Amino acid sequence: MIKINLLPLRASKKKETIRQQLSILVISIVGLLIVGLSAYGLLLGKIGTVKSEIKVSETELASLKAKIGVINNIKKLQSEVKNKLDVLNQLRRGKSGPASRLAALSDSLPEQLWLTKYAENGGKVSVSGVAMNEELIAFFMKRLEASGAFNNVELLVSEQSETGGVKAKRFDLAFQIKDQKP
């Protein structure tokens, strides 16, 4: 029988198997490197876009803060202007108020009744005077109420006095200005 030595064939198969395994190992390492590098590149790209979005958001935030500052300044100026307008309106009311009140008081005065004192404190007015009789004082009080400038007219004091030999009635009145609160 003839014997064939197959050893070199086995050795060559072993070499080829080792070669195949090494090539598979190298290919898989290269494949893993390619996948890892591409994932790394994608992550770097995402980081770059997020950083650019952060920069855009920060610039937008800075511009919005500037706008908020401008709006706050405008609101502050608006409130200052409103306060100034309120003061001007109050001054205008105060300017015409006393003249119209004194005109209403003067129109309400009957003959033979004289005022000796007029005091205004806030919304309250006190008047003192002399009249020839009680009817004139009552008539004066009714005319003050009817004038529309005053309300709550009250007689505080009414007493008889004598001035220069003439008997008269001295009186004190208190009332409120209709527009203002006491």
pTM of the model: 0.48
Of 36-40, 86-90, 159-163, give the range with the top mean pLDDT: 36-40
Where helices occur in 109-173 by DSSP H, the ranges are 134-147
How does residue 6 score in pLDDT terms, banded at 50, 70 and 90? low
Distance CA 52, CA 46 (A): 10
Q: Is the pLDDT of residue 143 over 80?
A: yes
pLDDT band of 181, cuts 50, 70, 90: very low
Confidence bin at 92 (pLDDT 50/70/90): confident
Q: How far apart are CA 92 and CA 99, in angstroms?
A: 12
**How far is residue 144's CA from residue 3's CA, in Å, rounded to a whole number?**
152
Q: For 105-136, how does the pLDDT look when each residue is reduced to its tens digit (9 = 90+)?
A: 888 898 889 999 999 887 899 999 999 999 99
Measured CA to CA, the distance from residue 36 to residue 134 in angstroms comes to 113
All structural domains of the chain with their residue ranges? 8-108, 109-177
Lowest mean per-residue pLDDT among 29-33, 35-39, 63-67, 96-100: 96-100
**pLDDT the model gives residue 182:** 41
Q: How many other CB atoms are found less than 10 A from the CB of residue 41?
A: 10
Residue 180, pLDDT score: 54
Tokens 């001295």 -> residue = 170
Strand partners, 172: 128, 157
Class at the top of the CATH hierarchy for domain 109-177: alpha beta
The predicted-structure confidence for 24-55, as pLDDT tens digits, reads as follows 999 999 999 999 999 999 999 999 999 999 99
Return the sign of the alpha-carbon dihedral for residues 25, 26, 30, 31: negative
Residue 171 neighbours by CB distance under 10 Å: 24
